Amino acid sequence: MQFSFFSSTSYMGAAPSLTVWPMPPRFCDRDTASLSIERGVETCRRAEALGYDWVSLSEHHYATLTLTPSTSVMAAAVSQVVKRAKIAVLGPLIPLGNPIRHAEELALLDHLTGGRLIVLFLQGTPNEHRAYERLPTDARSITQEGIEIVLKAWTADEPFAWKGRSYDFPNVAVWPRPRQTPRPFVFGSGNNEESARFAARNRIGMALSFLPLAAVKDRVALYRSEAEKAGWQPDTSHILYRGLGHLAETDGDAEREIKEATEAKIAISLKLQAEAGCPAPPNAPIVERAPVFWPLFQGSPNRVRDLVRGFHETGVGTLDIAFHWGVTSYEQQLRSMTLFAEHVIPAARTW
């Protein structure tokens, strides 16, 4: 089993991050933003030193939870301090960009990382689409076609034309080619059944996020069944799961710290929102959906180890874990990721 450290690169200052979207720029203190981004890079360096196999990054817009609107830019910076671990871009949002541009930038990034790039392409959420005023009714179809274009662009020896449902490119010839042969490892989302079927048909990996264990079992079974119909057999390296984690010395300490951190974030968010007269968000406030983001891998190292084993037994080959949600300080985040590295990863290596 492999382990990935999800570098959230969250804003470390006071902002109504759980109750307002889009986030007014006036809440962004420039020095705090710089420190947050520097620490995002530093946690990736530490993760490699602690023994994580990957570091991962994600794309979000107009909010404080992830300060990486461009995963390629952040990954290029991370590649200069992370020299062994894979660098996973999980993932660029296809409907917000151009698939040829994604193919070109990621091919360049594959060279900058020395051939260590891994990619998960996603469609994004409705609030992300609002950021660019692109509100597709068929975001899933656009995303899937975009993935098909990137895969062909990375492996074609000659220029080609593409005329599809959503894209029309008369000439495609990506330079440079990716460093990896024939291309970087690619995942597709498996959070819904159609996406899992698409990943299986196209012989790419399947990535799941924030689903309960029972749902993961069902989705893995579906993916394997569809892959068999397509004439191939995925192994555990094809199945990725992303979740949140928070470790402390005891189960009680972890639960208490998560509760304290969540209550503090909610209180600050509501206070700042009221003082600033911020408008209500276009969708349900994140605070109303907080249980979805409650760290699944929480507790003492012994408890988290047992939780991880459950996912291992479903066939998950890589766990991608963020340690930012249940903390009130940078030091707590470092302690949590260190406890996981020192007590969970070594045990999982023996399974």
Task: Please report the pLDDT score of residue 280 as a whole number.
Answer: 54
Question: 284 Cβ partners below 8 Å, 6+ apart?
Answer: none
State which amino acid sits at residue 84: R
Give the chain's count of helices (H) and strands (E).
11, 11
Categorize the per-residue pLDDT at 334 as very low, low, confident or very high, splitting at 50, 70 and 90.
very high
How high is the mean pLDDT of the chain? 92
Taking 80 as the threshold, does the pLDDT of residue 197 lie above it? yes
Average pLDDT on 129-157 reads: 90
Question: 157 Cβ partners below 8 Å, 6+ apart?
Answer: none
Average pLDDT on 168-186 reads: 97
Structural contact between residues 171 and 161, judged by C-beta atoms closer than 8 angstroms: yes
Identity of the highest mean pLDDT range in 122-126, 127-131, 313-317: 313-317
Residue given tokens 């107009």 in the structure block = 62
Task: Please report the pLDDT score of residue 14 as a whole number.
Answer: 86
Structural contact between residues 1 and 270, judged by C-beta atoms closer than 8 angstroms: no
Average pLDDT on 127-138 reads: 79
Q: What is the pLDDT of residues 261-296, one digit of tens each?
A: 888 888 888 888 777 776 555 444 444 444 445 679
163: how many CB neighbours lie within 10 A of its CB? 8
Here the CATH number for the domain that contains residue 264 is: 3.20.20.30
321 is in which domain, residue-wise? 2-349
Taking the CA of residue 68 as centre, how many other CA atoms within 13 Å lie in the half-sphere pointing to its CB?
29
SS3 of residue 215 by DSSP: helix
Q: Domain tally for the chain?
A: 1
Q: What is the pLDDT of residues 97-118, one digit of tens each?
A: 999 999 999 999 999 999 999 9
Task: Give the integer Cα–Cα distance in Å for 325 and 210.
Answer: 13
Q: What is the pLDDT of residues 47-84, one digit of tens each?
A: 999 999 999 999 999 888 899 999 999 999 999 999 99
Phi, psi of 276 (to 5 degrees): -90, -10
Structural contact between residues 220 and 316, judged by C-beta atoms closer than 8 angstroms: yes
Q: What is the pLDDT of residues 144-156, one digit of tens each?
A: 999 999 999 999 9
